[in-house]
Amino acid sequence: MKKTAFLFPGQGSQSVGMGLDFYEEFNFVKDLFEMASDICKINISKLCFKGPMEDLTATVNLQPSITTVNLSCLSAIEREGIKSCFSAGHSLGEYSALSAAGIVSKESALGLVFKRGELMHREATKYKGAMHAIVGLPIEEIEQIIADVKGKDVVSVANHNTKTQIVITGEPDAVVKVSTAASAKGAKSVPLKVSGAWHSELIRGAEKEFNECLESASFSKPVTSVIHNVTANISPDPSEIRILMGKQLCSPVKWFDSMCRLIDEQVEIFAEIGTGTVLTGLLKKILPKDYPCKIYAINSLKSYDNFIKEVK
C-alpha cells in the first residue's frame, strides 16, 4: 500500500447532520455515539444530526461531537483493513490522530476532549478573547507585528495554517491592533466566530487541571507515527506525547510545518477523515504544484466508498 497520512479536522469544520449517514449504515458507529453520550452525559447524536448549530458550536459540546464523527469515519476505514503510516490532527483533531496511531483508546480520546472543552469554556467565560485569520503575510512578518504592537496586551499566533495564512489569538483590542497593522501591509484580516482565545495565554488557567487529566489517561507506544501540533515532529515516547498534548492547549498549531514534514516523508495519499474539507483545502495551498499524490476528504458514505475502492 502507498504511503498514507490520515488528517483529522478540529473546531470550525462542524455542520448539522455530520456523521448521520455513517450512523445509519454501521452498528459499530451507533455504539460509538452511545459511548460518547455516556462519557460526556450529552446527547451527541442529537447535537450532530439535529443541532441547532448554536448548541453544536458551543465548545463543550463541539469537541466531543467532532471527535465522535472523526472516530466513526476512522472506524469504518479501519474495518476495511486500511492503515496509515502517519496521522495528524488540527488542534482538537490531534486527539483523533492519537487514537488512529494506537496511543489512546477511542474511549479515552472522547473523555479527554470532553474535559478539554469544559476547561476551555470555563476560561473563555473568565477572559474575553478573539481570533482573526490573517492572509497574505508570512509568519515572520506576523510575529514581528505582534512584537511591535502588543505591549502588555495578550496576543499571539494560534495557528500557522499555510505559508501565508496565520490565525492570531488574544485580547480583542490587541488582536484588532495586529490585524490593522497587518492590513496596512497588504494582508486580509477575517474575524473568526469563536467563543474564546484558543491557543493563547488567556486559557492558561486550564492547563494544570488538564495536565492532571492527561496524567490519569493511559498513553501507549505509537503503532504508527503522529506529527504533533506543538513540534511538527514525531515522538515514539508515550510520556513525551502526554507532555506535548498538555502544551498544545496554549501553544501555536504548527500545521504548515506538519504538512511540510509529511511532504518530506514522501506521503502519497492524504485522507482527511471526519467532517468538512477544511484540511484538504489548506493542503492544496501547501503542496508544491508538481507533488505526486492523491487527496481524499472522507466525510460521507459516498466519499468513503470511493476511497475504499481506490486504495484497497
228 is catalytic: no
- State how far the Cα of 231 lies from the Cα of 17, in Å rounded to an integer: 34
Q: Which of 99, 199, 235, 258 is flagged as catalytic?
A: 199
| Strands 86-89 vs 225-226: parallel, antiparallel or unpaired | parallel
- State how far the Cα of 180 lies from the Cα of 190, in Å rounded to an integer: 11
Residues 6+ apart with CB under 8 A from 284: 295
| CA 2 to each of CA 75, 86, 94: distance values in angstroms, whole numbers, following the listed order | 20, 12, 23
Q: Which of 91, 96, 108, 258 is flagged as catalytic?
A: 91
- State how far the Cα of 141 lies from the Cα of 116, in Å rounded to an integer: 31
| φ, ψ for residue 91, nearest 5 deg | 55, -110
Cis peptide leading into residue 52 (ω within 30°): yes
160 is catalytic: no
Return the closest-CA partner of residue 282 out of 192, 169, 198, 166.
Answer: 166
- State how far the Cα of 118 lies from the Cα of 61, in Å rounded to an integer: 9
Catalytic residues: 91, 199
